[in-house]
Amino acid sequence: MSLDGKTAVVTGAARGIGYAYCQRLAADGANVVAVDIDDPGDAVKKLTGGGDKLGLACDIGDPSQVEAVTAAVLDRYGRCDILVNNAAIFPLTDIDHVTIELWREVQAVNVEPILLFARAFVPGMRAAGWGRIVNTGSGITLLQNRDLAYLTSKGTVHALTRALANEFGEDGITVNAIAPGLVPTEGFLTRVRTGGPAADEVFARVTALQTIRRRSVPADLADALAFLVSDEAGFITGQILHVDGGLTRTGA
Ligand SMILES: NC(=O)c1ccc[n+]([C@@H]2O[C@H](COP(=O)([O-])OP(=O)(O)OC[C@H]3O[C@@H](n4cnc5c(N)ncnc54)[C@H](O)[C@@H]3O)[C@@H](O)[C@H]2O)c1
């Protein structure tokens, strides 16, 4: 599945799942723009593959920074063909820890940029008659979890995925979400170090609920992304694809 000539923008690209997305898109030939609040320059240097690579530092929770990034992308490449909204924060937000400021920050980073990036890039996709938007959701929406702000943000990501799919079906633009289960990324490990039980304990509990009982790796998600952005997935839109070893299957 060659993505030669296509331009992809990935948020939260400096590490973890977002970096795996960049690696896969670059390997498949796309121009890759890696966006992250932490300067993604070093990550971009490690990418291998056919297309152009660009790292842009941006706090996607700040609309003016998103505007600057989208303008830079359009200036350099003319359009974005593949938009991957992946960056998110997941602070402890159970009822004892959540504040209204934290609640708003989580929605500002996890949800609102999807709208801003889509609004900036959809006109070019429409003109080309082809586009792919893939959001990173979460299986957490179907599981027992007390992170009020994070869970709500991911539920909203799933709803927004379907709402955007409603908008662009006749334009050749598909909009889907990939919902991971539990993946041992830096973000997750930091979170268990600062709040929850130790990582091994969490993984033992989660993998026991999966039907494929190994730990997920970022490449599992990147493989799903490669399919969703391909021409072969052109009739799939408005879907939440759970890539989680069966963690969230009915009857788990
Ligand atoms: N790891 C998991 O178990 C898991 C499970 C379900 C869903 N997810 C989702 O997968 C996605 C990636 O998570 P991850 O595990 O790779 O996390 P991570 O924390 O390792 O990576 C997230 C990246 O997003 C960046 N980022 C954070 N805030 C930002 C901001 N304001 N502006 C720009 N960039 C910002 C971080 O710097 C980091 O590079 C997230 O949407 C997360 O909610 C992860």
* The pLDDT value given to residue 251: 57
Locate tokens 């072969």: which residue? Answer: 232
Domain membership of residue 204 (yes or no) is no
Residue 31 belongs to domain with CATH number: 3.40.50.720
| Residues 35/58, Cβ–Cβ less than 8 Å | yes
Q: How far is the CA of 12 from the centre of ligand 1 (A)?
A: 6
Domain membership of residue 248 (yes or no) is no
Domain membership of residue 252 (yes or no) is no
Please name which of 15, 33, 5, 11 lies closest in space to residue 183, comparing C-alpha atoms: 15
Shortest-distance atom of ligand 1 to CA 90: 43
Shortest-distance atom of ligand 1 to CA 188: 1
* The pLDDT value given to residue 192: 74
Q: How far is the CA of 155 from the centre of ligand 1 (A)?
A: 16
Strands 31-36 and 7-11: parallel
Domain membership of residue 113 (yes or no) is yes
The C-alpha angle with vertex 204 and arms to 203 and 205, in degrees rounded to 5, equals: 90
Q: How far is the CA of 129 from the centre of ligand 1 (A)?
A: 30
Residues serving a catalytic function are 150
Q: Which residue from 24, 39, 138 has its CB within 8 A of the most atoms of ligand 1, so it is best to mutate?
A: 138
Q: How far is the CA of 170 from the centre of ligand 1 (A)?
A: 31
Q: How far is the CA of 18 from the centre of ligand 1 (A)?
A: 7
| Ligand 1 binding pocket includes 222 (Cβ within 6 Å) | no
* The pLDDT value given to residue 195: 65
Contacts of 104 (CB under 8 A, 6+ apart): none
Domain membership of residue 149 (yes or no) is yes
Domain membership of residue 199 (yes or no) is no
- What pTM did the predictor assign? 0.97
| Residues 20/219, Cβ–Cβ less than 8 Å | yes
| Ligand 1 binding pocket includes 187 (Cβ within 6 Å) | yes
Give the CA count within 13 Å in the CB-facing half-sphere of 67: 3
Number of domains in the chain: 1
| Ligand 1 binding pocket includes 125 (Cβ within 6 Å) | no
| Ligand 1 binding pocket includes 89 (Cβ within 6 Å) | yes
Which residues of the chain register pLDDT less than 70?
Answer: 195-196, 251-252
| Ligand 1 binding pocket includes 114 (Cβ within 6 Å) | no
Residue-number span of the structural domain to which 79 is assigned? 7-184+215-243
Domain membership of residue 103 (yes or no) is yes
Domain membership of residue 238 (yes or no) is yes
> In b/e form, how buried is each residue of 157-173, taking b as 16+ CB within 10 angstroms?
bbebbeebbeebeebeb
